[in-house]
């Protein structure tokens, strides 16, 4: 991530966004499993964590689709 600030390498940005999108999808599955199986009893925190996971997935997918739009 620090290399992206200084070097502005598009391929590295694409790879990082793809990895973070897969990580966010895994977090969504993990948090949903915890909620369904009763591992999470605080429903406010469960909702917030699920919201943050979906937000992370959305922002990374938006970055990936922005790279493939071809406007630049």
- Residue 70: what pLDDT? 66
Q: Which residues contact 41 (CB under 8 A, 6 or more apart)?
A: none
Model confidence pLDDT, tens digit, residues 8-61: 667 777 888 899 999 999 999 999 999 899 888 888 999 999 999 999 999 999
Q: Predicted confidence band at 72 (pLDDT cuts at 50, 70, 90)?
A: low
H helical segments located in 1-72: 2-7, 10-36, 43-68
Q: How many CB atoms lie within 10 A of CB 36?
A: 9
What pTM, to 2 d.p., does this model score? 0.78
pLDDT at residue 29, as a whole number: 95
Q: Where are the domains of the chain?
A: 9-68
Higher pLDDT, 62 or 70: 62
Instruction: Please give the torsion angle defined by the CA atoms of residues 66, 29, 20 and 22, in that order, rounded to the nearest 10 degrees.
Output: -70
């Amino acid at each position: 991530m620090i290399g992206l600030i200084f070097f502005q390498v598009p391929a590295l940005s694409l790879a990082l966004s793809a990895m973070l999108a897969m990580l966010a999808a895994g977090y969504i599955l993990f948090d949903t499993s915890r909620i369904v199986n009763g591992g999470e009893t605080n429903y406010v925190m469960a909702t917030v964590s699920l919201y943050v996971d979906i937000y992370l997935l959305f922002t990374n997918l938006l970055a990936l689709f922005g790279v493939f739009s071809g406007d630049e």
